[in-house]
Amino acid sequence: MLDRKGFKNNIERILKMDFGKTLDTAEYYQKYNAVAKTLMEKIVNNWNRTEEEYSKGKQAYYFSAEFLMGRALGNNLINLGIYHEVKEILKESGVDINELEETQEDAGLGNGGLGRLAACFLDSCGTKNLPVTGYGIRYSHGIFKQKFENGFQVEEGDNWLKYGDPWSIRKSEDEVIVEFGDNKVRAVPYDTPIIGYGTNNINKLRLWKCEPIKDFDFNLFNLQKYDEAVKEKNRAEDISRVLYPNDSKKEGKVLRLKQQYFFVSASIQDLIKKYKNRFGRDFKLFPKYHAIQLNDTHPVVAIPELMRILIDNEGVNWKNAWEITKKTFGYTNHTILAEALEQWCKDLYKECLPRIYEIIEEIDKYFVKELDEKGYSHDKIKKMRIISDGNIKMAWLAIHGSHTINGVARLHTDILKNQELKDWYELYPNKFQNKTNGITPRRWLALCNKELSYFITELLGSNKWITNLEMIKQLEEYADDENIIKKFLDIKQIKKNQLARYIKESEGIEIDPNSIFDIQIKRFHEYKRQLLNAFHILDSYFSLKENPNLNIIPRTFIFGGKAAPGYIRAKAIIKFINEIAKLVNNDSQAKEKIKVVFVRNYGVSYGEKLFPAADISEQISTAGKEASGTGNMKFMLNGTPTIGTFDGSNVEIVEEAGEENNFIFGARVEEIKKIKDSYNPKEYYEKIPRLKKVVDTLIDGTFKDEGTGMFKELYDSLLNGTSWSKADEYFLFRDFNDYIEAQKKVDEAYKDRLGWAKKCWINMISAGKFSSDRTILEYSREIWNIKAKKI
C-alpha cells in the first residue's frame, strides 16, 4: 500500500525545494517533475539492490543507437501497481493525472521501429527479472519536430529536455574518455530506471552525453575571441546533440561515425572497468559474464573497439582477443534492403578512427585467409570481404565477429538465409536464428487502452495476462457471445470518440467517430507504400465524383509518420497526401464519405491514442521488404484487423488469427522474385484506366508542388525509373487492383457489425505470441545464456 500522506508531502517538499512553489501555485511541468522525483525516491533502494544482485552473474547489454521510450509517468505507475492510488492523491489536490502526463515531452531518443523495439525489450527484461542493461546516447535533441507548411514537411528542433529529465541520474564518477583521430571527449553517463511490472527489480538504461575535456578557454575569452573560447565545447556537444543528423555532406557523415563510436567505446570501457574491478586482467572469463547484443549495424564498431581495448590496453594477444570478442557479441539484423546494410567509406575510418581501421584491416586479412583455406574462389572472396570497393561492410563485420545472427520475423530470417545473406549462411549455418519481434502489453494495452484492459481482466478473473499474454487466448469462448462482443464494440467506440476529440484539439480537424478509422502510422519510406494508400484514396474520391450515391461506409484515412530530412521522395509523398487531403476535405460532395487526416509529429504518445481507436490497420509494404513491423502487433492487440501484404510479421499474424479475419492482398515474395527482372510497370499503367487516372494527377495539374518538381520526379520514378532505382521498384502498380479489391472487402465486412467485431476479437485474443516478453525470454535462453534474478 502506498503511504498517501507521505507521497503528497514528498511532492510538496520537492516543489518547495526545486521551484519555490506549492501544489496550488506550481505549473504543470513543475508538478510533473515533483511527482517523478517522488517516485524516484521510492524506487532507488530497489534499484541499488537490483544492480548488486545482477553483478554476481552473467549480464546482457543491449547496444542501440536509439531507444524510443515514450512518456514515463503513466507506464511507471502502471508497472508499480499504483496508478489509481496516485491518480486519487493528485485528484484530491486538484491535479488531473491526464494533464500531468500530457506535460511530459516524448524523450527524443529514437525515431522508429528499431528504437521502439529496444524500449519494449527493456520493459520486458525488467518485468521478467532478466539482468539486462541498455546502452545508447543521451541526445539533447530528437530527430526533429514535424509540422506542415502548405503541405510540405517542415522540421524543427526537438528540445525534449527543456524542462529537465527527472527520471535520469547523472553518474559523473563513471565518466570515461573517448578518443578520435583528431580529438578527445568525455563521455558522461546518465542512468534511467527501467521499472518492471509487478516486481521489485529495477533495471537500467545508461545513456552517454558527450562533453569536452576543456569546456572553456579563459585566455581566448580574455582576448575577446568568444566563439573560439567555446569551440571545443560546441564541437564535443555536437556528438550527442541530435539523433541521426543529416549526413548528405562529409561533415554529417563524420558526425554520425563519431556518434556510433562514441557510445560503443564508452560502453565497452564501462564494462571492462567493472570486469577488472572484479576479476583483474584475466579476460578469459569476459564472455562468461557479458553478452552484448548489437541492435542493427549502428553499434557494430563495438567489435573492433573491444579488440582494440583488449590488445592495446590490456595486453591480450590477437588470437585470444578475437575468441573473446566472437563469444561476446550477438547481432540482430533489421533489414532486407541492401541500401540499409550500412557501409562506411574506409577513408573516413582512417581519418576519424585510425587505430580502429587498422584492426578492421587485420580482421579482414584473417577472414580472407579463412575463406582461402576453405577453397573459396577469388570472386567469392571479393564479394564477402569486409573491406571492398573502398568501403567497410558493417553487416559483414557483424556476422563474422558475432556468435549469433538473428532476423526479426520468420519470413525475414528465411529471406536472409536463402537470399540476402545466403553466402554467409552457407559459411556459418549454426550462427543464424530467428527471433520474431514483440511488443510490451504494459504500454500497448494496459496503459493506452485501460477500458479494454479492465474488460479482459474482468473476463479472465485475473490481471496475470499482463505478464503472460498468451492467457488472452482463453477468451476465444466469447467470440460468439453477442453481449460480450457488443461490450467490446462499445469500448472501441469509446476509443474512437477519444481520438476524434484529440484530433480536433491537436489538428483542428473534425472527424466522424462513426466512420471507419483506416490508419497507417509509420516512418515514411517508399517500400512501406504510403503512396499506394494515397492512390486508393484518390480512386475512391474519383468513384464518388462519378457516382455520388455510391454505397460505401464513410471512412476516415489517418496518416502519421516522418520522412528523413534528406529523403526528398518520401517528403514528396507527404506533400502529395496533404494535397489529397485538401482536395477531399474541401469537397462538399465527398467529405461526407471520405476524410483524410495527416497527424503532425507522430510519436509514441500519439500512437497510444491511435492504436486503440483503429478499425483497420494498413501494413501494405512490398512483400519481402519489411523485416518485421511491430505497429501491426500493436493494432492487433487492440482488436484491429490488418489489411496487408504477406510480408514481415503479417505472415505470423495471419497464422495466429486466420486469414479470414484479415485482408491479405498482393504479390508474394516468390512471385516478386520471379517477375522482378522482367517487370514493366507501364503495362499496368496502360491497361488499368483507374490506375492511370490517379498516377496522372502527379503531372496533370490536379495538384501543385509549388514548382519543386517533386511530383514529376515521383511520376518518373514509377514509370521510367532513375539512375539509382528501377521503375516502380516497390510494385505499386502490380498490387494496385488487388489492394482496391481488398479494400472493398473491408467495406463489405464492416457492414456486418457483429461479424466485424468477431474478426476484431479473434485478432485481439490471438496476439499472445507477439508479446516482447516471449521474444526476450528466447534471447535470454538461446543467445545470451542469462538467467532471471529476482530481488
| 602 is a domain residue | yes
Closest-CA residue to 638 (of 457, 491, 476, 436): 491
Query: Is 334 an annotated catalytic residue?
Result: yes
State which H helix or E strand residue 219 sits in. Answer: helix 218-222
* Cα dihedral: 558, 564, 567, 569 (round 10): 0
Total domain count for the chain? 4
Query: Is 435 an annotated catalytic residue?
Result: no
- Where does 310-370 show beta strands of DSSP type E? 329-332, 343-345
Q: Each residue of 42-52: pLDDT tens digit?
A: 999 999 999 99
Tell me the one-letter amino acid at 769.
K
DSSP string, 538-552: HHHHHHHHH-TT---
pTM, 2 dp: 0.97
Q: Each residue of 642-664: pLDDT tens digit?
A: 999 999 999 999 999 999 999 99
| 600 is a domain residue | yes
Are both 295 and 305 inside the same structural domain?
no
Catalytic residue among 413, 630, 640, 775: 630
| 695 is a domain residue | no
β-bridge pairing 202-212 and 132-137: parallel
| 687 is a domain residue | no
What is the SS3 assignment for 179? Answer: strand
Are both 94 and 122 inside the same structural domain?
no
Question: Which pLDDT value is given to residue 105?
Answer: 86
Which ranges of 390-529 does DSSP label H, i.e. alpha helix?
394-400, 410-415, 422-427, 441, 450-460, 482-507
Cell numbers placing 584: 477531399
Are both 487 and 572 inside the same structural domain?
yes
| 4 is a domain residue | yes
Catalytic residue among 186, 417, 442, 528: 528
Are both 289 and 420 inside the same structural domain?
no
Are both 653 and 549 inside the same structural domain?
yes
- Of 249, 282, 299, which residue constitutes the final position of a domain? 299
Residue 340 has pLDDT above 90, yes or no: no
The CATH code of the domain that includes 127 is 3.40.50.2000
Query: Is 184 an annotated catalytic residue?
Result: no
Question: Which pLDDT value is given to residue 339?
Answer: 67
Residue 245 pLDDT class (50, 70, 90 cuts): confident
The C-alpha atoms of residue 186 and residue 209 are separated, in whole angstroms, by: 8
Are both 368 and 383 inside the same structural domain?
yes
Q: Each residue of 196-228: pLDDT tens digit?
A: 999 999 999 999 999 999 988 788 888 898 888
* Cα dihedral: 243, 248, 250, 255 (round 10): 0
Query: Is 127 an annotated catalytic residue?
Result: no
| 388 is a domain residue | yes
Are both 429 and 495 inside the same structural domain?
no
Query: Is 625 an annotated catalytic residue?
Result: no
| Residue whose cell numbers read 511527482 | 35
Which ranges of 55-96 does DSSP label H, i.e. alpha helix?
73-80, 83-92
Are both 451 and 405 inside the same structural domain?
no
Query: Is 523 an annotated catalytic residue?
Result: yes
Among 67-71, 195-199, 221-225, 512-516, where is mean pLDDT lowest? 221-225
Are both 157 and 270 inside the same structural domain?
yes
Are both 313 and 391 inside the same structural domain?
yes
Cα four-point dihedral sign 204, 207, 211, 213: positive
| 706 is a domain residue | no
Tell me the one-letter amino acid at 175.
E
Catalytic residue among 298, 417, 634, 769: 634
Residue 352 pLDDT class (50, 70, 90 cuts): very high
Catalytic residue among 186, 334, 443, 593: 334
Catalytic residue among 431, 523, 571, 734: 523
| 122 is a domain residue | yes
Are both 282 and 179 inside the same structural domain?
yes
Are both 166 and 203 inside the same structural domain?
yes
Residue 350 pLDDT class (50, 70, 90 cuts): very high
The C-alpha atoms of residue 415 and residue 333 are separated, in whole angstroms, by: 12
Range of the domain at 90: 1-56+79-104
